[in-house]
Amino acid sequence: MKFECRMKIRTISRVIQGRNRSPSIQLHSYRVLAQLHSVPKRPSFGIAFDIDGVILRGRTPIGDSPKALRRLYDDSGSLKIPYLFLTNGGGIPESRRASELSQLLGVIIAPVQVVQGHSPFKNLLNRFENELVVATGKGEPAVVMSEYGFKKAVSLDEYASYFNSIDPLSPYKTWTTKQPCDEHTSSIASVPRFDVTSERVKAAFVVSDPVDWGRDIQVLCDILRSGGLPGEKSQHQPHMYFAADDLEYQAAFPSERLGMGAFRIALESIFNRIHHRPLEYTSFGKPNPSVFENAESILKQLQLPTSDGDLNEDYKDMKSHHFETLYMIGDNPSVDVKGARQAGHPWFSILTRTGVFRGKENHTDYPADHVVDTVEEAMEYILQREGYA
Ligand SMILES: [Mg+2]
């Protein structure tokens, strides 16, 4: 299903006179004028929503989260306030996740509004575009990497299938690791697309939560300690990237589930016992400050009008103005709140009690700027605070 996204942030039609005013006076004048003439004002704030444990539990909306999101659109369905989803989850391309979220939540969500744990992997394209890389995790990790432009991305499922007996326990696994929608893999299962028996893997990517931890730890250890070619010997460890480092996250089950950070600990602990040099790796995702910087620049894009046709000069001057507040709404103190706190101004953290965090008071180690029960309450708080309610 394709969505045509019209994300118009309404622009002012009034001309503000006086070119020599300072930017702050201009901004103030603009606000006053906007209020006086009831002209829709350009928001000086944006919102980043965590998904799991805030908006959705599994695939089910939490409370009336769709209603909270609808408040960010005007009556015609155009985006009124810039917002995006900032999740450590993933496993499918951003475009597909946007369509899926649009269907589940009943609002139009563009791919640019979906930042997943693995989204920063696209920044590594220059380095590995034509190199053999393996990708693992639930969903379609190799498809995600291919969409980013990696030309020789192979899923760990496929890669392992080319090495006889690499997983000695596979005959005992009555379930399959083949994923229902991974048509490409099933059609070429016995014919390697690349010469995996002689070409070394240059990097391994954990795109989303691994499905078969035992097999993945075994094969990743093989790749990492052999210099990218299982069975060979080499000192050089290929690069290892994790999309996120969440120890736990809130899914459909009542208590938290082990996340990618738990998998990383398992892999690292084992690797460091069987190899003479400790595992070298890079983790992305929240609470990494770069994730928040990236979110801010995307929100700025969403804040800009779609065309310059209805802009006057003064308004153009204001294009460069920064957000006064960026709200991070999350359920995980050590991921969402810690990240927003580390990112600093203009980030403002709001902690919900719908997921990992259930405390009565604020969190002790990573206290949020504000604590609420639900995302609807968070939305009410923000809109009141910003004079939009
Ligand atoms: Mg969460």
- Tell me how far apart the alpha carbons of residues 204 and 266 are, in angstroms, rounded to a whole number: 16
**Half-sphere exposure of residue 152, counting CA atoms within 13 Å on the CB side?**
18
Question: Which residues does residue 152 pair with via DSSP β-bridges, in sequence order?
Answer: 132
d(CA 86, CA 83): 10
pLDDT mean over 306-326: 59
Please provide the distance, in angstroms rounded to a whole number, between the alpha carbons at the two ends of the chain: 33
- Pick from 275, 249, 251: nearest CA to 263: 249
Separation CA 277–CA 284 (nearest Å): 22
Residue 83 Cα to ligand 1 midpoint, Å, equals 17
Cβ(90)–Cβ(118) under 8 Å?
yes
- Map tokens 């790749």 to a residue: 223
Q: How far is ligand 1, taken at its centre, from the CA of residue 54, in Å?
A: 6
* Mean pLDDT for the stretch of residues 216-223: 98
Task: Count CB atoms within 10 A of the CB of residue 310.
Answer: 12
* Average pLDDT for 232-249: 92
Query: pLDDT higher for 12 or 23?
Result: 23
Spatial separation of the C-alpha atoms in residues 363 and 175, rounded to whole Å: 40
Distance 163 CA to ligand 1 centre (A): 37
Instruction: Give 81 Cα–ligand 1 centroid separation in angstroms.
Output: 22
CA distance 56 to 106: 13
- Give the separation between CA 141 and CA 321, rounded to whole angstroms: 38
CA of 369 to the centre of ligand 1 (A): 17
Q: Does residue 181 register a pLDDT over 90?
A: no
Which helix H or strand E contains 347, and what residues bound it? strand 347-352
CA of 329 to the centre of ligand 1 (A): 9
Q: How far is the CA of 58 from the centre of ligand 1 (A)?
A: 11
Q: What pLDDT does 41 receive?
A: 64
User: For position 347, what pLDDT does the model report?
Assistant: 98
Distance (Å, whole) CA 274 – CA 290 = 33
The pLDDT tens digits for 102-156 are 999 999 999 999 999 999 999 999 999 999 999 999 999 999 999 999 999 999 9
Q: In whole angstroms, what is the distance from residue 194 CA to residue 159 CA? A: 10
> Among 163, 285, 148, 288, which residue's Cα sits nearest to residue 226?
163
Structure tokens that stand for 183 in this block: 């048509």
